[in-house]
Structure 1
Amino acid sequence: MLKRIACLALFACAPLYAAPHLDDQRLQQLANDPFWLSLGHYEAGKLKGWRSYVSDKKFFLAADGAHHPDAELKATVDALYAPASLGEKHAQCVYPARTRWLKDQLHLTDLPAVDCAEFKQWFKDVAPHSAVMIFPAAYLNSPSSMFGHTLLRIDQADVQSNNTALLSYAINFGAYIEGSDNSILYAWKGLMGGYPGLFALVPYQEKLSEYRSLENRDLWEYRLNLTQVETERMVEHVWELKQIQFDYFFFDENCSYRLLELLQVARPGLRLTEQFPLTAIPTDTVKAVKEAGLVEKIDYRPSRERELLERAKPLDGDEQQWVLKISDDQKQLQEPAFKALPRERQALIIDAAYRLGRYRANGLERDTARSQRSFELLRAINQNPAPDLKIQPPGLPEDGHESRTWQAGIGTRGDKAFGEYGLRMAYHDLNDNAEGFPLGAQIEILQMKLRQYEGNHWQLQQLDLATIRSLTPRNALLQPWSWQVTGGLERVPGKHDDETLVAHVNGGAGSTWQLRDDMLGFALGTVRVEHNNDFNEAISPAAGFNTGVLWKNPLGNLSLEAKGDFFTNGEVRRSLSLNQQWELSRNLGLRLSAQREYSHLSSPVNEVMLEVKWYHY
C-alpha cells in the first residue's frame, strides 16, 4: 500500500506533457513521407496498403504498425511524451532517428527531458563522420560468398588524415545462424528464408580479418560523399535496429538490399531499393550506388591469397619448393644450397614462405611451434627485406555485365532446324562476357530455355534451379579442390532418336590447373542421379567425368569440354562440346556452340547453335 501511495505521489509531482493533436491530413502527409517510410522499412503492398520488411514485432509501437505507417507515427509521437522516468526504455532513447525527425517536422519543443546515457555513449564511441561502402569480392570456394557481399564502414573525422581505418566500425547485415549448418543446408535455407537477418555494428578490423584472411576475398572500398549529418542520421537508425529481426533471403532481402535502405535513411530522396523488385545481387547494388552519384573514391585491398600468389609469381619451380620447405621448417634457412642462392632470390623466397605460413594459419588456434617459425622468418625478412609488393588491381567488379540474361538463338540438331529462347535470372557462366569476373567461375540461378522446331513444335529444353562451378587452379603452394553442382530439368538423347526431358541432380570434384595466364585446364569426377521415363528404374545413378579447357582469348571466352556418364543400368552417355563467345559490348554477347552427343539408346547426333545474349537488370 505504501509503495502505491509513493508512486502516486511521484507521478503527481512530475511535470505533465501532452502530445500534440495531429489532424488527419497532417498525419497522412508525414506518414507518407519517404523518410518515415524508410525508417519503418515499408514497401507498398502487392494489392494495396503497406508492409514492413521488419519481421520483429518489438520494433513497432503500434499494434498494427507493420502495415500502417500512420498508426506507427501517431504511436511514436505519443510515446515521445511518455514520462521521463522510463529512462533508457523511453522512446526518445530507443528511437533517436525517429525523435530527431519528428522534432524537426512538428517543432516539438516541449518534450520531456530524457538523458539516454547508453545511446549517447555508444554514439560518442562510434563518432560517425563519413561512410565507406565495402565490397568483399566473390570467393569461389564458398557457396554463400560467390555473389560477393556489401557492408558499410563508419569513419571518424580523422580517419583519412591519420590513416586509422582499422579503428572504425562496420555496419553489417547478415543471416543469424545458430549451430553449424553445412554449405548445402546453408544455401538452401538462405534461398528459402530459413534464417533471420540482423544488423550488427562491429569493429572494422574484425570484418577485414574475416574477409581478407579467413575467406581470402579481395576488398573494394567505395568512399561515399555522405555529409556528417547524413552519416549521423544513418547511424542513429542503426541503433534503432539493435537485435531487430528481418527476413533474410539470398537473392533479394539480403545484405546489399538492407544497406540500400540505410543509404535512403542517410539521404532522403534516394530511390535505390525500387530498382530491385526481384533480386539484389551485390554487384548490381554497387552499380546503383555509383550511378546515384554517391561514390567519390575507390580503394583496393588484396586478399592474403592474392598477395601470396603475386609474391610467388616470379619464382621458378625450384624456388617455390624452397618456399614450401622453409614455411614448414625455418632451419632450412641455414641449408648451404639455400644460402648459395643470390640474396635477392632468398629475400623473395623468405617473404613468400612467411606469407604461406600466415595463410595456412588462418582460422587455427595459436601454436607455439608455428609462432616460432613465423618469428624466425620475420627476423630473416628484417635482415634481407624483399622489394615492396605491388599488386595491379583487377577489373572493378561492378564493371562486369548485368546479372539477368535474355538469350535467343537459331541452330540445327541432326537434320532439324530450331529457334531457342531463354531467360536466366542470375548471373554468369564460364563463357559469358569476362570483364569483372574471375576465369573459372560459374553461378546460374533459375534458367529456362524453350525450343521451337520446324512445324511450330515447341518444347521445354531446360529448366535449371541452380548451377555452380568453381574451377580454382592449383599450384605448387596451394591446392584447392574444384567442384560443381547442378539440378533441374534437361533434355537428353531418348531411345527413339528423340530427346527425353529428365529430372536430375549431379555434382563433382577434381582439380584445375593454370596452363597459361589466360587458360585453365580441369578434370573432375562426377556423380549423377536421374529420373528418366526411358529407364525401368524410377531413379538411376551414374558415375562419370567432366574435363576440358577454358581460354580467355582476344574475342571473348572459349571452352572445350568432354563429359561422360556411365549408368548402373548399362546406359552410357558422352558428349563433346565447343563454345566461343564474342563480347560485342559489356552487356551484349554472341555465342557459337557446337556439340556431338553419344548414347547407347540412340544414334550419335550433332547440334550447332548461334545465339545472342543480352545482359540487363
Structure 2
Amino acid sequence: MSTTLLCANSVQNYKNKAQKLELSKKHYWHILLHTNDDESEIDDPNFFFAKDGKNNPEHELAATLDAFFSDEVKDDNSSICKFPARYAWLKEQLQADDFPTAICKEYDKIFARVDPKSTTMVFPAAHINSPASMFGHTFLRINSSYNSKLLSYAVNYAANANTETENGVVFAIKGLVGGYYGRYSLLPYYEKLKEYRDSEQRDIWEYDLNLTQEETVRMFRHIWELNGTNSYYYFFTENCSYNMLWLLEAARPTLHLRDHFVYQVIPLETVHVVKQAGIVTQENYRPSKRTKLLKYEILLDEKYKELPIELVEGDKKAEDIQSDETISIDQKRYILESGVEYLEYQYSRGKIKKDTYLELFHKMTSERAKLGITKPLDIKTPPNPIDGHRAVRAQFGLGVKDGDFIGYLGIRPAYHDLQDSSYGFLRGTQIEFMNLLASTSKKETKIEEATIISIVSIAQRSLFFKNFSWRTKIGWDNDYLTQDPTFGLSVGAGFSWGNDIGFFYGMVDPILYQNSSFHAGVGGSIGAKIDKYKDFNTNVEFTQRVYDSGDKQLLIKAAQGYRISQNKQIVLKYDYKDKISKNITRDEQIFRLMLKYYF
C-alpha cells in the first residue's frame, strides 16, 4: 500500500474520531480560531484552511487535518510549523501516535530566544496629552529564564496606523468603524518600555500572572499562529486589550475573561477582570521619564533648576558643572542625571539630532561617573490603577432648585471625569462617553445632560514640561441661556500649574450651540482642584461667557467629593447660572447631594 494511501486512511480515521468526539464544538478549538457564535474574529483568509473556515469550525478542523497530512514539504512553510497550537491540541485530543512531523527551524529558533517561562500583563497608564491614549493600553510580557526582564519579549496588538502622521480626527473615526487592520507583534520588552515609558511619558504597571510554564508555552504556540494575520481593529471592542484576553484564554481556557465584556473593552477594565480572576500574583511599578524629571524638579535647588536644560541646549558644559566647587556633590549629581534624562526625552521627541545626542550623552554620563555611585532615585509609588474606581458609573441623588426638591438619576458607560475620585487615575484627565443625567420634580421630568463625548487634559506646566491644557465637549446640557438642554460644541485651551496639594488652571473655550438656530460665544474659565488626600476631591470653576447676541453669562460649579470605598463616592454639588439680557438678570442655583456607584 502506498504512503499516500496510508496518509489518506489515517487522516480519514482521525476525521471520523474528531467528529465522534465533537472536537469542532470544543471551547478550546473556538479559542484557537477566535470564534464567537461560530464566526471567527480573524479577518485574514490565510488564517483558515477551509474556504468557509471563518464561519464553520467543523469544516476548518477537517481542513486542518487534511493540511497536516498533506504531501507538502515539512519545513518552516508547512502547515504544522505555521500552526503549532492546533497541531499540539489535535494530537493530544485524538491521542495520535502516527501524526506527521515537520522540521520547524524558524519556530524552534524563536522559541529558544523567547524561552517562555511565565507571563506578565503590562499596563502603560494614560498619556496626559493624547486622547487616543487616555484609556491606557495593555500588552503581555513573556518572561524568560534571564534575570533581567528587559531581555524578555512583549506581545502587542495594535492598529496598523502611524499615529504620528495620521490626522487625529481621521484616526479616531477610522478606529471607531474598523478602518484599520490590527496585528499582533512580538518584540523585545525594552523596545516597548522605550515607546511608552520614555517617549510617551507613561508610567508602567506590571502584573505578574500565575500562568505555569506549560500554559505560557501553550500561549506562545498560539501567538506564533497569529503572526502576520490581519483583523479589523475597533477602538471600543476588538482593540489592543480585548485581543490580549484571547491569548490568556489560549493559555488557560478556563478563564473566560472575554465574557465580562459586551459593548466596550477599556484597557484598565481588562486589568480589573484579570485581577478578579485571581491570577495576579505580584505588582510592579516602573516610573516614566516624565515622573523621574518631575522628581528632579523637587530635588534641584532653585538656583540650579535651569542648568539641566542649559546642558541639553549647549549653553552649559558638563565638565563645568562637575568642576564647580560652589555646587554640592548631591546637586551636581542631580543636575547631570536630570540633564541626561531630559536629553533622552528631547531626543525621543525628535528635538535633537542623533549626532548631537550621542555627543552630549557621552559628556554628561562621563562627568556624572566621576561623582561616584549614589542611591537610586527615590520615587514614591503612586496609587495602583486597579485600586481606582471602575469604568461604568450609576448615580442618583436629591437636589433643591428655587425651593423645589428634585430627584436625579444618571448612567455613564465610560470612564472618568474630574469630579470622580482621582485615586489611581492620571491627574487632570477626563474622558467621558454617553453620560446621561435625568431629573424629576413636581413640575417636570427632563434630561439634564446628555454628553456624547467629553475629553479634558489639564496638564500642569513645570520646568521640563511646557504643556498646553485643553478640553472639548459635544452634547446637550443646561449651561446656556435656555432653560432646556441645548446641544453645544466647545473646544478650549489654556494653562495649568500645580503642586502636591492640587492644581489650578485658566481656559478659553470658543462655543457653538443650537437654539432654534446656531449661535456662537466664548467663555473664559478659572478653576482649581484639590486632590492631595485619598478620599477627598474638591473642584471649583468660574466661567464668564459672552455670546454673539451680546448676552453675558456667569457659571459657577463647585463639587466636594468623598470616596466611601473604591467604587462608591458621595458628592455635594453647587451650580450657579445667570443670564444678563436687556438689563434683566435671572439667576439659577442648584444644590445637589449625589451618590455615585462604579461597576
- TM-score, normalised to structure 2, is 0.92
User: Counterpart of 1:41?
Assistant: 34
User: Counterpart of 2:341?
Assistant: 355
User: Counterpart of 2:256?
Assistant: 271
User: Counterpart of 2:12?
Assistant: 20
Give, in whole Å, the separation in 2 of the partners of 1:86 and 1:605. 79
Alpha-carbon offset, residue 520 of structure 1: 0.3
Asked if 2 retains the 8 angstrom alpha-carbon contact of 1:326 and 1:333, the reply is no
User: Counterpart of 1:504?
Assistant: 488
Alpha-carbon offset, residue 381 of structure 1: 1.0
Give, in whole Å, the separation in 1 of the partners of 2:295 and 2:508. 30
Equivalent residue in structure 2 for 1:609, among 580, 592, 595: 592
Give, in whole Å, the separation in 2 of the partners of 1:67 and 1:335. 68
Cα separation, partners in 2 of 1:205 and 1:343, compared to 1, 3 Å: closer
**Which sits farther off after the overlay, 116-125 or 499-508?**
116-125
User: Counterpart of 1:469?
Assistant: 456
DSSP-derived class of the 1:20 partner: helix
Alpha-carbon offset, residue 88 of structure 1: 4.0
Give, in whole Å, the separation in 2 of the partners of 1:447 and 1:248. 25
Matches within 5 A, 1:252-331: 252-328=237-313, 329-331=315-317
User: Counterpart of 1:29?
Assistant: 22
Cα separation, partners in 2 of 1:428 and 1:63, compared to 1, 3 Å: same
Q: Residue 289 of structure 2 aligns to which amino acid in structure 1?
A: R
Give, in whole Å, the separation in 1 of the partners of 2:431 and 2:109. 44
User: Counterpart of 2:468?
Assistant: 481
Q: Residue 68 of structure 2 aligns to which amino acid in structure 1?
A: L
1:373 and 2:360 correspond: yes
1:541 and 2:520 correspond: yes
1:431 and 2:419 correspond: yes
Alpha-carbon offset, residue 504 of structure 1: 1.6
Give, in whole Å, the separation in 1 of the partners of 2:109 and 2:386. 37
Root-mean-square deviation over aligned CA pairs: 2.4
Give, in whole Å, the separation in 1 of the partners of 2:354 and 2:68. 55
DSSP-derived class of the 1:313 partner: helix
User: Counterpart of 2:50?
Assistant: 62
Asked if 2 retains the 8 angstrom alpha-carbon contact of 1:332 and 1:338, the reply is no
Structure 2: segments with no counterpart, 5+ residues: none
Asked if 2 retains the 8 angstrom alpha-carbon contact of 1:503 and 1:531, the reply is yes
User: Counterpart of 1:6?
Assistant: none
User: Counterpart of 1:170?
Assistant: 154
Asked if 2 retains the 8 angstrom alpha-carbon contact of 1:398 and 1:436, the reply is yes
Structure 1: segments with no counterpart, 5+ residues: 1-10, 45-49
Give, in whole Å, the separation in 2 of the partners of 1:458 and 1:130. 55
Cα separation, partners in 2 of 1:494 and 1:27, compared to 1, 3 Å: farther
Asked if 2 retains the 8 angstrom alpha-carbon contact of 1:197 and 1:245, the reply is yes
User: Counterpart of 1:47?
Assistant: none
Q: Residue 529 of structure 1 aligns to which amino acid in structure 2?
A: L
Alpha-carbon offset, residue 87 of structure 1: 4.5
Q: Residue 539 of structure 1 aligns to which amino acid in structure 2?
A: F
Give, in whole Å, the separation in 1 of the partners of 2:91 and 2:492. 60
1:576 and 2:556 correspond: yes
User: Counterpart of 1:81?
Assistant: 69
User: Counterpart of 2:199?
Assistant: 214
Alpha-carbon offset, residue 117 of structure 1: 3.0
Asked if 1 retains the 8 angstrom alpha-carbon contact of 2:318 and 2:367, the reply is no
1:600 and 2:584 correspond: no
Cα separation, partners in 2 of 1:331 and 1:25, compared to 1, 3 Å: closer
User: Counterpart of 2:78?
Assistant: 90
1:144 and 2:129 correspond: no
Asked if 1 retains the 8 angstrom alpha-carbon contact of 2:301 and 2:331, the reply is no
Alpha-carbon offset, residue 302 of structure 1: 0.8
Alpha-carbon offset, residue 244 of structure 1: 1.4
Give, in whole Å, the separation in 2 of the partners of 1:293 and 1:336. 51
Q: Residue 493 of structure 2 aligns to which amino acid in structure 1?
A: A
Q: Residue 168 of structure 1 aligns to which amino acid in structure 2?
A: S
**Which sits farther off after the overlay, 334-343 or 119-128?**
334-343
Asked if 2 retains the 8 angstrom alpha-carbon contact of 1:143 and 1:187, the reply is no
Asked if 2 retains the 8 angstrom alpha-carbon contact of 1:176 and 1:198, the reply is yes
Q: Residue 467 of structure 2 aligns to which amino acid in structure 1?
A: P
Asked if 2 retains the 8 angstrom alpha-carbon contact of 1:528 and 1:565, the reply is no
Asked if 2 retains the 8 angstrom alpha-carbon contact of 1:500 and 1:532, the reply is no
User: Counterpart of 1:334?
Assistant: 320
Alpha-carbon offset, residue 71 of structure 1: 2.1
Give, in whole Å, the separation in 2 of the partners of 1:330 and 1:390. 27
**Which sits farther off after the overlay, 167-176 or 66-75?**
66-75
Q: Deviations over 1:86-120 (max 9, x none)?
A: 75443212211011100111122223333233333
Cα separation, partners in 2 of 1:592 and 1:116, compared to 1, 3 Å: same
Give, in whole Å, the separation in 2 of the partners of 1:220 and 1:145. 15
Cα separation, partners in 2 of 1:211 and 1:503, compared to 1, 3 Å: same
User: Counterpart of 1:7?
Assistant: none
User: Counterpart of 2:330?
Assistant: 344
Alpha-carbon offset, residue 214 of structure 1: 0.7
Identity of aligned residues (%): 32
Cα separation, partners in 2 of 1:110 and 1:335, compared to 1, 3 Å: closer
User: Counterpart of 1:108?
Assistant: 96
1:231 and 2:216 correspond: yes
Asked if 1 retains the 8 angstrom alpha-carbon contact of 2:337 and 2:368, the reply is yes
DSSP-derived class of the 1:500 partner: coil
Equivalent residue in structure 2 for 1:404, among 371, 376, 392: 392
Q: Residue 124 of structure 1 aligns to which amino acid in structure 2?
A: A
Q: Deviations over 1:395-436 (max 9, x none)?
A: 111111111000112112334332111110111111212221
Asked if 1 retains the 8 angstrom alpha-carbon contact of 2:80 and 2:87, the reply is yes
Give, in whole Å, the separation in 1 of the partners of 2:12 and 2:96. 8
Give, in whole Å, the separation in 1 of the partners of 2:438 and 2:86. 51
Asked if 2 retains the 8 angstrom alpha-carbon contact of 1:489 and 1:504, the reply is yes
Alpha-carbon offset, residue 249 of structure 1: 2.0
Q: Residue 504 of structure 1 aligns to which amino acid in structure 2?
A: G
Q: Deviations over 1:521-567 (max 9, x none)?
A: 1111211221222xxxx322222222201001545110110123322
**Which sits farther off after the overlay, 138-147 or 75-84?**
75-84
Q: Residue 521 of structure 2 aligns to which amino acid in structure 1?
A: A
Asked if 2 retains the 8 angstrom alpha-carbon contact of 1:529 and 1:540, the reply is yes
Cα separation, partners in 2 of 1:111 and 1:431, compared to 1, 3 Å: same
User: Counterpart of 2:547?
Assistant: 567
Asked if 2 retains the 8 angstrom alpha-carbon contact of 1:143 and 1:183, the reply is no
Alpha-carbon offset, residue 358 of structure 1: 2.0
